Amino acid sequence: MEIDRNTDTIAAVATALSDSGIGIIRISGRDSIAVADSVFQTKSGRKILLDAESHTIHYGFIKDTSGEILDEVMVSVMRAPKSYTAENVAEINCHGGVLMMRKILQRVLEAGARMAEPGEFTKRAFLNGRIDLSKAEAVMDIIHSQNEFALASSVGQLRGKLSEQIKELRGEILYETAFIESALDDPEHISLEGYPEKLLGRVESLLERVNRLIQTADSGRILKEGIRTVIIGKPNAGKSSLLNVLLGEERAIVTEIAGTTRDVLEEYISLHGIGLRVTDTAGIRDTEDRIERMGVEKAREYAQKADLILYVVDASLPLDGDDVESMSLIGDHRAVILLNKSDLESVVSEEEIRKFAAEHAGGPIPDIVKTSMREGSGIEELERVIRNLFFQGEISSNGEVVITNIRHKEALQRVSKSLTLVKKSIEDGMGEDFYSIDLMDAYRELGRITGEQVEDDLVEEIFSKFCMGK
């Protein structure tokens, strides 16, 4: 008889595979408690887990096949449906050495469990109806959150803030579709007279709410991934020194020799709650050095894709043609000009750089901040300026739903397209059966976000990206 891989007993190390105080081996499935019971016994030698009440924890030992003690442990028992997977779950809390965790996991596998696939515990929680697909994706977002705001957004999604809005939108669309279909099936008792005008107002309201969610996607990406920040400027202007100051460590090589940075250097920085995905680039200048020239081309490419450009100017030297090249990369990007080396005698004033930007930047004049990488000055002012550029001075989601997942954004865009087609059909005086076709398309796309209408291969793809043991 073929075993159902969605209900059999699985096991994996649920904590990081590194030396730590405690490690957890999670077991889930029909026979999870029996498997745990077969490898565990109390100090007095008793087998107690099969009769244990749900949500209890028990002290004892894990023994190998010869009866030798492997480790002193605590085992928790959680019975279906009140567990993470909504199945019977046992978790062995052991000492956190990598070798010990592997030995106990191997013992559990020998006792009848199979190795869990990446994300399989959360996949079972989804398949068993404990969480929807958007909540499942929030689990992985929580694990990978790199700043407080991304974490808060992911926790809100896990608690169901996005799911609630999606269900509300689906409910309204389904009501209108059901009304249209009922009226078409029973025109004698249900009249559609004047209904298109009423539906138009409801569709416009739905469109507004969907588009509002879509509009949060850019800020959602920034909250989740960090602001894509590119540092540009002439060689030896202080670009690598800026990266080191932001990092708080000597990550980039800094010398007095122009052109030291020839390749692209990328780092993630949390600047008092602002996530910056910073790229330090080769200095912008004309050069005969083939390798350095390739670095300059890379700098131009990265600048085109940036959310934020930090243009570092050596204020102790006059502006020249290389500064014109650097300034021209700004264009319409959000940018900050750093008048660096303010601890030295300046030959470039704020007024001069502002005039220079007006002539060569090709867009709005960027904010200007005086800095000294040697003294570490100007960084707080830089942080304030970035806050104003991206978050109007205050980094907060105010508890609102923010779309941070590209899959959700694309689904919502398809919903918006379908609702726009409904609106056009009403305005063009089309028959009511046209409305229900596009309304149902919108309904289905919303269901793809929560997993209520989703293909098996998409489910497999989503959970394959999870870490082992989750």
One domain, residues 202 and 315 = no
Tell me 365's DSSP state.
P
Per-residue confidence (pLDDT) for residue 162, from 0 to 100: 92
In a domain, 5, yes or no: no
**SS3 at position 329:** coil
Q: Higher model confidence: residue 103 or residue 255?
A: 103
Residue-level pLDDT at 66: 87
Residue 309 belongs to some domain of the structure = yes
pLDDT at residue 376, as a whole number: 84
Provide the domain limits for residue 163.
136-216+403-451
- The CB density around residue 171, as the number of other CB atoms within 10 Å, is 11
**CATH of residue 203:** 1.20.120.430
Mean pLDDT of 275-287: 74
Q: Is the same domain home to 251 and 379?
A: yes
Per-residue pLDDT, averaged over 72-82, amounts to 96
Per residue in 15-60, pLDDT (tens digit) is 988 888 999 999 999 999 999 999 999 988 889 999 999 999 999 9
- According to the model, what pLDDT value does residue 375 have? 86
State the average pLDDT over residues 129-153.
83
Residue 287 pLDDT grade (very low, low, confident, very high; cuts 50, 70, 90): low
Q: What is the mean pLDDT of the segment spanning 64-72?
A: 91
**DSSP class of 50:** G
Q: Which residues contact 2 (CB under 8 A, 6 or more apart)?
A: none
DSSP alpha helices (H): ranges in 15-70?
32-39
Q: CATH no. for residue 323? A: 3.40.50.300
| Residue 458 is assigned to a structural domain of this protein | no
Single-letter code of the amino acid located at 301: E
Q: Is residue 467 part of a domain?
A: no
The least confident of 145-149, 167-171, 179-183, 315-319 is 145-149
Q: Where are the alpha helices (DSSP H) in 252-306?
A: 290-304
Distance CA 453, CA 6 (A): 19
Whether 153 and 125 share a structural domain: no
Cα gap 205→455, rounded to integer Å: 29
pLDDT of residue 259: 42
How many distinct structural domains can be found in the chain? Answer: 3
User: Does any domain span residue 339?
Assistant: yes
The answer, yes or no, to whether residue 168 has pLDDT greater than 90, is yes
Choosing from 339, 360, 391, the residue where a domain stops is 391
Indicate if 169 and 257 belong to the same structural domain.
Answer: no
For 419-468, what is each residue's pLDDT tens digit?
A: 999 999 999 988 888 899 999 999 999 999 999 877 788 888 888 888 88
Tell me, yes or no, whether 457 lies in a domain. no
Amino acid at 406: I
Same domain, 202 and 333: no
462 is a domain residue? no
